[in-house]
Structure 1
């Protein structure tokens, strides 16, 4: 029987931000699909308990250190079959939180660091004439939902993925992005602890009436990395419970009068 195109047996995939809320689920989903997973994060402690076959440690906010660590890994181990660029960070929720230093710090990890991570991997994939790249971006890359610096950086990743798709397609390298909406990870715990009614305001914006789970984000990334998406490159898949499909609250409150 032919192997399922969704399987990743025999493939090595690096996942950055592997110790985070979405990252840990990505690692598990990819390992369950048969991949040899290389976990990347800031410290070995971040990766404890994960089903990984190896690790690369760096702080993605430091582009030079990120590039050096990834280049050393590639020199020692050869090209990867896939990479999920997942690491990211934001705390500036609106323009009132921004200044030059905050803008620079969010660009450093979310855009510049992601480029330093993926660029040497892309070159190695091109040399091997194969590879699949997925960036975990955000619905913030597609419209404004707050977090302006983060949004600008994530929109930059969408453009970067399209550039890779166009210029490296002849080398059989694909690049796509997954754009989650609100994902129910521990990052929400402090908000919900401060305001137990917060979801009453959040969920009406989502046509499915809920947040998405880390597993749903990971499954979309798995599809894009896998051979099941062999003809898919340069696209963004929102995993957002319908948020970017339209304005549900406008329909409900203005048109339906609910």
Structure 2
């Protein structure tokens, strides 16, 4: 497909796209994908330095756990630059791997960042989109929102995002709003570094759980997000699309170790 044909297929040329978590591994892949589709991209992150080298029209800085700051920055952004055509809620964070790691502080911070903060970004943008009569929101949720793979507070927040997607799809569809979620499996980004420090063998232990035998790449997450954000997916809303190398399709390790006798 030519560049022109690519842009025509997705119909994102010169559309304004706001991407949170822009400085992270998935965020940078999202920027690359939407830039290739001809979009005008604004990025948001907690730290300006992580966005400085990126091809962004605007850079927003806020802490998702700070509701007042989020409200002020998003409100001023809309007032100054207008309502984005597409909002990609990508930012996320987790450190509480199991219930034993989760106390009041961990729970409240992970819910504040992964669920409440996303709401505080989304609500004013969707209100402005509704007034205009068009808009598209894609949330980067997780397979943790579909089933349990650890990280209990993060999982609760990501499941909440999927419910929020459905609420937006049902109640805001009449205003031309589409809302969908991408649910990645394990993605090899810097977010994995804290797990692999001193335990590089974790990746080899992880792979047998995935039917494709590998982790998902940031580019694969970005491509699926690009599709849902584009006019190519104009009839799709309220969905949660797993981009997970087959993890949620079934229990491959159970098949191999129990039914097939280790073959």
* Alignment partner of 1:156 is 2:160: yes
Deviations 1:75-119 (A, max 9, x none): 112211001000010000000001111100001100000000000
Whether the 8 Å CA contact 1:15–1:37 is kept in 2: the answer is yes
* Alignment partner of 1:184 is 2:188: yes
Query: Which whole-Å CA distance do the structure 1 matches of 2:66 and 2:201 have between them?
Result: 38
* Alignment partner of 1:126 is 2:166: no
Alignment of 1:98-117 (within 5 A): 98-117=102-121
* Alignment partner of 1:9 is 2:13: yes
1:141 to 142, 145, 148: 145
The alpha-carbon deviation at position 195 of structure 1 amounts to 1.8
Query: What residue in structure 2 maps to residue 47 of structure 1?
Result: 51
Deviations 1:168-196 (A, max 9, x none): 10111000000000001122234334123
In angstroms, what is the RMSD of aligned CA positions? 1.2
Query: What residue in structure 1 maps to residue 239 of structure 2?
Result: 235
Query: What residue in structure 1 maps to residue 70 of structure 2?
Result: 66
Query: What residue in structure 2 maps to residue 247 of structure 1?
Result: 251
Query: Which whole-Å CA distance do the structure 2 matches of 1:156 and 1:85 have between them?
Result: 13
Whether the 8 Å CA contact 1:28–1:50 is kept in 2: the answer is no
Query: What residue in structure 2 maps to residue 89 of structure 1?
Result: 93
1:207 to 208, 211, 222: 211
Whether the 8 Å CA contact 1:58–1:65 is kept in 2: the answer is yes
The alpha-carbon deviation at position 120 of structure 1 amounts to 0.4
* Alignment partner of 1:32 is 2:36: yes
Whether the 8 Å CA contact 1:31–1:52 is kept in 2: the answer is no
Please report the TM-score for the alignment, with normalisation by the length of structure 1: 0.97
1:57 to 38, 57, 61: 61
Query: Which whole-Å CA distance do the structure 1 matches of 2:222 and 2:157 have between them?
Result: 21
SS of the aligned residue for 1:166 comes to helix
Query: Which whole-Å CA distance do the structure 2 matches of 1:43 and 1:190 have between them?
Result: 19
Q: Which runs of 5+ in 1 are unaligned?
A: none
Query: Which whole-Å CA distance do the structure 2 matches of 1:63 and 1:20 have between them?
Result: 21
2:227 to 223, 230, 240: 223
Deviates more, 1:171-180 or 1:75-84: 75-84
Query: What residue in structure 1 maps to residue 175 of structure 2?
Result: 171
Query: Which whole-Å CA distance do the structure 2 matches of 1:191 and 1:166 have between them?
Result: 38
SS of the aligned residue for 1:194 comes to coil
SS of the aligned residue for 1:119 comes to helix
Query: What residue in structure 2 maps to residue 77 of structure 1?
Result: 81
